[in-house]
Amino acid sequence: MWLAGGWSCLRRTVILLAVVAPAVAFSGVALAASLDALDTRLERIVEDQGIVGLAYSLVEDGHVVRSAAIGRVAPGGETLSTASALRVGSISKNVTALVAVTLMAEGLLTLDTPVSEVLPELELDGPWADEAPLLFGHLLEHTGGLPGSGHRSHVDSEEVLSPSAVVLARPLGLRWPPGRYFSYSNLGTTLAAAVMEQVTGRSFDELAAERVFRPLGLTSARFDWATEPNAWPRSFNPDGSDAEFWRMAVRPAGSLSMSVDDLGRLVAFHATNGATAQIAPPALIEGMRQPKTGLAAEQGYDLSYALGTFGFLEAGRIFWGHWGRVDGFQASFGILPGTGRGFAVVTNTGNRGAFAEIRREIAEFVSRGLPVPPKPPVVQVPAAELALLEGWYRPFTDDNVKRAWIAEMLGLQRVRAQDEGLVVTSGLLPLGARALVPETKRFFREVDVGVSTHLFLDDGDSLVLFGDQQNSYEKLTPLQAALHIGLFWLAASAMLLALVSAAVLILRRLLGRPLGPGGQGLVLLGAATLTLVLLQGLYVLWGMLAPLSSVAELGRISPRSLVLASLSIAWVVLALAGAVRLLTALSRSGWALRALSLWSTVGLLVAASFLALQGWVPLLTWI
């Protein structure tokens, strides 16, 4: 009897293996073929787009199943390895948040811990200490109202500073009551690390090593940058030239370097809610993807920036992870919650378009075979409710205070009700219409997008539009909007008139004809306008489009920052001199020249007054 039963069991096992083994083998062959095809596509992008080196890891069922590298450490240099150390930029914030989670697991901190209780010596400028204190959770979720990526916070440091030394070096100004609006802040993350130092009495680097790096097996990870230049990981601009190494002071926000092998282990940790290393309860690791502070999260939006991670749409699915950019390095990681799948990718070349294409290819592979989530259903919102949302909205939360006025001026939006939904257009020109359909009475999405993109939030005083997961827009009255548009076009047309008039007058003078009454004044206004255009163009080139290490140069007294300061004074002096010349010549001018002169003068003086209020007259980027 026993022998018969054993034989029967053995026979069933053999049959099962005969069926399952080929299927498993076929699945393995299919996966290998898919991986080879992915490598081929990535190699094509690397070659076509001039990427020097690319490394990536793939996670399946909570395990790293693939780490690969394509290209080289440097042009003509050694082959890039998956063990090569690369800088991963703002992915640093995820590790910083992980350290915080381990402290919360031990009860040493909570998201509601007031920063002033831990760092009483910290100087915060702002009248909201009593009504809305700055909390630890605000720092990790970027809702603290702190200035963000300002030039001074980007400045290079000759030494590896502790986070506490960085944040206690000067007063920090709050821009609005903490806990309301999202605004990305490297300084806020660094302040969070300083809080952790004070609570534990340990350095941030020690905390990161003891609580994250060693338990997760991240042997290559480090926040401090090497002091020997030859030991720095090299990176490259899109044209292949060397990118300058940024020795950042705000290290917890962006100085992390690690191999893609280790980055894959970090992804596996998140994909399993911390099962690969028991540094905190799984619920806390999963909770890193659940935003808790800020108006958007409080009013039901679950894709806000959470604890060192945020949700982003790729390949039609919502991944949770983080992106990073520093010097020429670009990095990204993401997981698909509940599937055990994820990816990590780093390049050492600052070609953003190519990197977006690479991330899209990898995300498509990671999400293969998974159904595309259906778009949220469209709800019916009464016309009266839609009418309440109509109006003019101006952005006010740009992370860089010095350049915020550019976003505020050019980013004016108009919202109108149309076809049971909304249409958003530029407020300055009726261009780029974006049709929105409602998911709730206050949450809307673009027609072809599967998540909410525009939220109308109640901040207690009025509606605030939160768009594209990053910008908050205040609602303007019709009079405020009219002034905004009118002053913009007054200044813009005055500048154009001054340039054209000056060019015509200079041409007349070259042909031997006199400038005439007021001619010198118009030439001076044209020179002022040209100087202002040069100032703005150089600021955009050096302060917004340049590598972050170059942006850091504006955070200290340097040739570039002094050039900008000089231009910001020179154009105003030229404008005032031209205005005086024109006013003294008005009585001797014809009506057409008078009108032209007054228009140009008033427009440029309005621009000067506005920029003076924005801290651009003079423009001292190192303050």
The closest alpha carbon to 247, from 327, 357, 315, belongs to 327
Please give the structure tokens belonging to residue 329.
Answer: 């390095």
The closest alpha carbon to 412, from 430, 387, 386, belongs to 430
Distance of alpha carbon 91 from alpha carbon 87, whole angstroms: 9
Strand order in the sheet with 329-336: 63-71, 53-60, 341-347, 329-336, 317-326, 310-314
**Is domain 86-366 given the CATH code 3.30.70.1710 in the classification?**
no
Distance of alpha carbon 436 from alpha carbon 450, whole angstroms: 12
In degrees and rounded to multiples of 5, residue 345 shows phi and psi of -150, 140
| pTM exceeding 0.75 | yes
User: Is pLDDT above 60 for 2?
Assistant: no
Q: What is the mean pLDDT of residues 236-247?
A: 89
Q: Which residue has the tokens 């009897």?
A: 1
The distance of Cα 476 from the centroid of its chain, to the nearest Å, equals 25
Find the range with the poorest average confidence among 77-86, 186-195, 322-331, 578-587.
578-587
Give me the DSSP letters along 441-465: SSEEEETT-SS--EEEEE-SSSEEE
Q: How many CA atoms lie within 13 A of 118 on its CB side?
A: 25
The answer to whether the CB of 140 falls within 8 A of the CB of 252 is: no
Q: What is the pLDDT of residues 526-550, one digit of tens each?
A: 999 999 999 999 999 998 887 776 7
How much is the pLDDT for 320?
97
Beta partners for residue 236, in sequence order: 242, 349
Distance of alpha carbon 614 from alpha carbon 576, whole angstroms: 19
How much is the pLDDT for 27?
46
Contacts of 277 (CB under 8 A, 6+ apart): 215, 216, 217, 269
- Please give the sequence-ordered ranges of beta strands (E in DSSP) within 30-186, or none if there are none: 53-60, 63-71, 86-87, 124-125, 172-173
Domain range summary for the chain, segments of one domain joined by + = 86-366, 383-475, 480-613
User: Is pLDDT above 60 for 9?
Assistant: no
Distance of alpha carbon 60 from alpha carbon 3, whole angstroms: 41
Coil, strand, or helix at residue 203? coil
Q: What is the pLDDT of residues 120-160, one digit of tens each?
A: 999 988 888 778 899 999 999 999 999 887 787 777 787 88
How much is the pLDDT for 17?
46
Contacts of 159 (CB under 8 A, 6+ apart): none
How much is the pLDDT for 30?
63
Q: What is the pLDDT of residues 461-490, one digit of tens each?
A: 889 999 987 889 999 999 999 999 999 999
> Which amino acid type is present at position 259?
S
The closest alpha carbon to 478, from 412, 532, 556, belongs to 412
Beta partners for residue 310, in sequence order: 321
Percent of the chain with pLDDT over 70: 93
How much is the pLDDT for 551?
79
